[in-house]
Amino acid sequence: MPHRQASIEIGLNAVIVSVSGGIPQVVQVRDTDNVFPDSLPFGPFDPIHHRTFEIGLRSWVENQTALNLGYVEQLYTFGDRGRHRVSGDEGPHVVSVGYLALTRQTADSDDTLAKHNSAWRSWYDYFPWEDWRTGRPTVLDQEILPALNAWAENPPTEGEIPKPLSRIERICLAFGTGTTSWDEERALERYELLYEAGLLLEAQRDGRPAALARASLPFLGAPMRFDHRRVLATAISRLRGKLKYRPVIFELMPETFTLTELQTSVEAISGRHLHKQNFRRLVENADLVEPTGATSTATGGRPAALFRFRHQLLSERPAPGLRVGGR
């Protein structure tokens, strides 16, 4: 039997995040034929024209969205075969390199994206169970936990990779049940459990047995093309964790802002409601901002003091973040 030459392609994916109107948003690219669901901006790495992965990523993003990215960091390399499909998977093995990019929306960004068949969309459309700002999401107790607990009672399927923890233990850690509490940084773990249990459309599309057994039962959240929702979950976990030890939130803020606007943005990313006085005390103790001397009347109420990020902080201590939420 002749030896088949292995074929590998490298793809570049971008999770482009902004906060607008208290909503954490990502750039999604629509399929012009309306056949496939949303995708992240993505494209193949071209070693002839792209000297580095990041150069290739910026080129693809500009071509697909007309956005010039600022802050960019590499997230993870997604290399498992079968991430996209299972049966008949004889095509090239696609290795995707995911990136997190933070940006600020401009007045004309919506029109610019629309011309490139892209748009901003709330990341909570894809992960409604991650938004705790107005309390515990009802979908957790009404749909997710009953379905997960029923799945946990079943024995592992043939070919399932053994895990050091049982299914029920993983559910407790990821979803904060039993003696544990909700940790906003575990967004990726929650997504992967929901995928394994067949509660996401991507699992049905990939031919996973648990999803195929759901028949006509509804799936959770808006799906994405390929494994892009997993890439997005990775970005959410990374960004939520990074809030606590790096001042990345200011990459999403305008040059000047009120403390209320800053709190709203932190809440949007973390998915948590924060006590106003506690938050202001936290910001003050961390010495992250400085007053500009100006005020804003945008809210229509009493003038609110405007602040800016105190850039010299970066050279004063190694971990200037906002330690909000779990852990």
> Is the domain of 20 the same as that of 110?
yes
Greater model confidence, 289 or 92: 289
| pLDDT in the model for residue 237 | 98
The answer to whether position 320 is within a domain reads: no
In a domain, 325, yes or no: no
156/270: higher pLDDT: 270
d(CA 56, CA 12): 8
Choose the final residue of a domain: 175, 204, 221. Answer: 221
Mean pLDDT calculated for residue range 132-146: 97
The confidence score (pLDDT) of residue 82 equals 47
Q: Could you tell me the CA-to-CA distances from 271 to 174, 190, 284 in Å, in that order?
A: 15, 14, 22
Residue 323 belongs to some domain of the structure = no
Question: Which CATH number fits the domain that encloses residue 292?
Answer: 1.10.10.10
Q: How many Cα atoms occupy the beta-carbon half-sphere of 282 within 13 Å?
A: 18
Cα atoms in the 13 Å half-sphere on the side-chain side of 271: 25
Same domain, 54 and 84: yes
Taking the C-alpha atoms of residue 166 and residue 144, their distance in angstroms, rounded to an integer, is 18
Q: Is residue 229 part of a domain?
A: no
311 shares a domain with 213:
no
Residues 169 and 196 in one domain: yes
**Of 181, 205, 221, which one is at a domain's C-terminal end?**
221
Higher pLDDT pick, 318 / 167: 167
pLDDT at 87 over 60: no
- Specify the number of domains making up the chain: 3
Is 58 within the bounds of a domain? yes
Q: Is residue 105 part of a domain?
A: yes
Q: How far is CA 175 from the centre of its chain?
A: 17
State whether 80 and 118 are in the same domain. yes
Question: Is 12 part of any domain?
Answer: yes
The CATH number given to whatever domain includes residue 68 is 3.90.79.10
Which residue among 221, 255, 280 closes a domain?
221
If asked whether residues 104 and 140 sit together in one domain, one would say no
d(CA 183, CA 163): 21
Question: pLDDT-based confidence at 6, cuts 50/70/90?
Answer: low
pLDDT by residue (tens digit) across 8-44?
889 999 999 999 999 999 999 998 888 899 999 998 9
Regarding whether 196 and 158 lie in a shared domain, the answer is: yes
Say yes or no: 114 and 16 in one domain. Answer: yes
Q: Using alpha carbons, select from 194, 243, 106, 18 the residue that is nearest to residue 202.
A: 194
**Are residue 113 and residue 151 in the same domain, yes or no?**
no
pLDDT tens readout for residues 289-311: 999 999 998 877 789 999 999 98
Both 139 and 115 in one domain: the answer is: no
For residue 89, name the pLDDT band (cuts at 50, 70, 90). low
What is the domain extent for residue 301? 247-315
- Asked whether the predicted pLDDT for residue 142 surpasses 70, the reply is yes
Residue 242's pLDDT is 95
pLDDT category of residue 80 using cuts at 50, 70 and 90: low
| Pair 94, 175 in one domain | no
Q: What is the pLDDT of residues 215-259, one digit of tens each?
A: 667 899 999 998 999 999 999 999 999 999 999 999 999 999 999
H or E stretch including 60?
A: helix 53-65
Is 255 within a domain?
A: yes
Q: Which helix (H) or strand (E) holds 43?
A: strand 42-44
pLDDT of residue 238: 97
Tokens of 40: 């992240």
| Backbone Cα Rg of the chain | 21
Q: Which residue has the higher pLDDT, 252 or 89?
A: 252
Percentage of the chain lying above the pLDDT 90 cut: 64
As a whole number of angstroms, the distance between CA 64 and CA 29 comes to 8
318 band by pLDDT with thresholds 50, 70 and 90: low
Residue 101 corresponds to which tokens in the numbers above? Answer: 């990019």
Instruction: Indicate if 81 and 164 belong to the same structural domain.
Output: no
pTM (2 decimals)?
0.91
- pLDDT confidence band for 3 (50 / 70 / 90): low
pLDDT value of position 86: 44
Mean pLDDT (the chain) is 89
Distance CA 157, CA 100 (A): 34
> From CA 257, how far away is CA 246, in angstroms rounded?
19
